[in-house]
Amino acid sequence: MYLIISCLLLGLVVIISSCEKEEIIIEEITISVEDAYDDGVYVLNPEPEILGNLQIKIWPSYTSFRSRIEVDNRLQSPIGFILRSKEDEAFVYYEKKYIKAEGSTESGDVSAIPLDKQLSLTIVVYNSTVSYAFVEIIEALGLDYWNSIEDYKDNLQTIYQRFLVLEK
């Protein structure tokens, strides 16, 4: 009896692990952003194909040495967000691994964000059922969050990889 149950469980594991999971496509798009109103604010408005339903505001010259960023999540799912240098991805300007869904806004003062340089923006849209505990589990495992997030595709809807240039 034990042998039969073991064989059935093994067969089930083989069948489940051989099923192909839907791949999340990371499409790299470069976006040029201008200070449309000449007020020192660079705004990326919601565009479903580009950023999903997010609005991102960047004040590159908030003070002489600091910039400010604001992320307004209008999606029905929580997100993770990181903005870093494209040349040196170890240099992070702003990072928030978990922003709640539907109208949650996160902001903060960050290292000075340069104009006319490419920035790397990654947005992870979690499944609507994912809580902050997901982020804590990845960190508890000692993994580099942003480099290991794709290993947890069952918890993700989409990953947006975009490159930004804030134009003078």
- Residue 110 pairs in a beta bridge with 67
3-state secondary structure of 105: strand
Taking the C-alpha atoms of residue 148 and residue 150, their distance in angstroms, rounded to an integer, is: 6
In DSSP terms, 108 is beta-bridged to 69
| Least trusted range by pLDDT, from 4-18, 79-93, 103-117 | 4-18
Query: Under CATH, which number does the domain 24-166 receive?
Result: 2.60.40
Angle ∠(140,150,119) on CA atoms, nearest 5: 100
What confidence tens digit (pLDDT) does each residue in 118-145 have?
Answer: 999 999 999 988 888 889 988 899 888 9
Cβ neighbours of 159 (radius 10 Å) = 17
State pLDDT tens for residues 19-73: 334 445 556 788 889 888 888 999 998 887 777 789 999 999 877 778 999 999 9
Q: Classify residue 9 as exposed, middle or buried by CB count within 10 Å of its CB (0-12, 13-18, 19+).
A: exposed
pLDDT at residue 98 above 70? Answer: yes
Amino acid at 77: S
CA-nearest of 159, 4, 8 to 82 is 159
pLDDT at 129: 85
Helix and strand numbers, DSSP H then E, in the chain: 3, 9
Averaged confidence pLDDT in the chain: 81
Q: Which amino acid is at 142?
A: G
pLDDT (average), residues 106-114? 91
